[in-house]
């Protein structure tokens, strides 16, 4: 496969490394490389904050991959143009500015000339591939991670199998779904299925329908943590409710998240996403159109 049509970092790799790093830095998983993961995570948060991006918007590992991929072009090209986008969206003092605010990329000729610039996108893609390969999980780390989550790619869908080990931990479940919502922005595939794999799926199924009917009664008498409510609440907070569908498959509960043609409103994130898509060769993505 030529470098012109190669996907350098797969979606499975993208989610696995970002989620594993999040778990390590929140002390849910321990590894021999704890110090290394924590350092690169802190560096990523620092770089995102320097751009004015909150940690809930920009995965630290991805911004570090972009910095590594662009090299000196990060400070020489990326930062100045990012600041231009940022200033254009914050200035609304004139009629022109207000019109420009609606689409700050409209007259951004630098972006149209991006592929013809001195920036070597193929080389940048190879660099981010090397970056992710250098931090990929070893055999022991993969076994630990798969005790909580198994990730698979199937045609146009990314499958997440959440085990009882993660579902019984409220904070770890929150950590998963909060990072999941961020990483989906940068994945190539935009259809996701989250499976809840429990030992008592039949009981869970009964409880689900019981809650549908007696929700008020149940919520009044029970304070028990419910992972379904936590995950659903965070998903609907970040995405439109109609994009989340509840399914059943052999007594296993599933949330299907459809982010095809999902519109990103934050222009700073759109700019970072555009760079990532060009570097990682994520073609034909609605979110990459500016």
> Would residue 231 count as lying in a domain?
no
Q: How far is CA 286 from the centre of its chain?
A: 16
pLDDT value at position 34? 83
Query: Are 88 and 102 a contacting pair, CB within 8 Å?
Result: no
What are the pLDDT digits (tens) for 227-252?
A: 888 999 999 999 988 899 999 888 88
Q: Which residues pair with residue 159 across a beta bridge?
A: 152, 193
Quote the percentage of the chain above a pLDDT of 90.
54
Residue 65 domain flag = yes
pLDDT digits (tens, 9 = 90+) for 47-75: 999 999 988 899 999 999 999 999 999 99
Residue range of the domain that includes 158:
11-187+261-288
As a whole number, mean pLDDT of residues 184-208 equals: 76
What pLDDT, on a 0 to 100 scale, did the predictor assign at position 217? 45
Measured CA to CA, the distance from residue 113 to residue 278 in angstroms comes to: 12
Q: Using 50, 70 and 90 to split pLDDT, how confident is the model at 284? A: very low
- Helical axes 267-280 vs 60-70, angle rounded to 10°: 60
Are the C-beta atoms of residues 166 and 172 closer than 8 Å to each other?
yes
Q: Report the domain count for the chain.
A: 1
Residue 197 resides in a domain: no
Is residue 206, in this structure, part of any structural domain at all? no
Q: How confident is the model at residue 287 (pLDDT cuts 50, 70, 90)?
A: very low
The pTM score is 0.82
Is the pLDDT at 3 greater than 90? The verdict is no
Let me know if residue 244 belongs to a domain. Answer: no
Cβ–Cβ under 8 Å, residues 29 and 145: yes
Q: Are the C-beta atoms of residues 153 and 12 closer than 8 Å to each other?
A: yes
- Confidence bin at 273 (pLDDT 50/70/90): very high
Q: Residue 153's CB: how many other CB atoms inside 10 A?
A: 16
Whether 233 is covered by a domain: the verdict is: no
Ranking 37-46, 112-121, 193-202 by mean pLDDT, the lowest is 112-121
Instruction: Tell me the average pLDDT across 258-278.
Output: 90
Is residue 239 in a domain? no
The model's pLDDT over 198-221, given as tens digits with 9 standing for 90+, comes to 765 544 544 444 444 445 444 444
Q: Is residue 209, in this structure, part of any structural domain at all? A: no
pLDDT band at 101 (very low <50, low <70, confident <90, very high): very low
Per-chain mean pLDDT for the chain: 81
């Amino acid at each position: 496969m030529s470098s012109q049509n190669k996907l350098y970092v797969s979606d499975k790799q993208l989610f696995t490394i970002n989620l594993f790093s999040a778990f390590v830095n929140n002390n849910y998983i321990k590894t021999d490389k704890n110090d290394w993961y924590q350092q690169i995570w802190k560096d990523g948060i620092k770089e995102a904050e320097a751009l004015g991006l909150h940690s809930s918007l920009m995965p630290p590992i991805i911004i570090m991959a972009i910095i590594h991929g662009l090299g000196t072009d990060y400070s020489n090209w990326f930062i100045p143009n990012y600041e231009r986008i940022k200033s254009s969206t914050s200035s609304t003092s004139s009629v022109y500015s207000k019109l420009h605010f609606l689409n700050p990329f409209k007259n951004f000729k630098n972006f149209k000339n991006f592929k013809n610039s001195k920036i070597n996108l193929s080389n940048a893609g190879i660099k981010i591939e090397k970056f992710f390969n250098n931090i990929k999980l070893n055999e022991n780390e993969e076994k630990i991670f798969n005790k909580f989550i198994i990730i698979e790619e199937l045609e146009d869908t990314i499958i997440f199998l959440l085990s009882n080990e993660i579902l019984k931990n409220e904070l770890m479940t929150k950590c998963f779904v909060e990072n999941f919502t961020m990483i989906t922005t940068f994945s190539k595939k935009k259809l996701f299925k989250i499976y809840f794999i429990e030992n008592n799926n039949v009981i869970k199924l009964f409880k689900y329908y019981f809650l549908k009917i007696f929700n008020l009664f149940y919520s009044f008498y029970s304070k028990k943590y419910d992972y379904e409510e936590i995950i659903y609440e965070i998903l609907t907070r970040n995405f439109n409710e109609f994009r989340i569908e509840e399914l059943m498959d052999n007594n296993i509960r599933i949330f299907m998240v459809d982010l095809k043609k999902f519109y990103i409103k934050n222009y700073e994130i759109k700019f970072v996403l555009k760079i990532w898509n060009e570097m990682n060769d994520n073609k034909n993505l609605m979110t990459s159109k500016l």
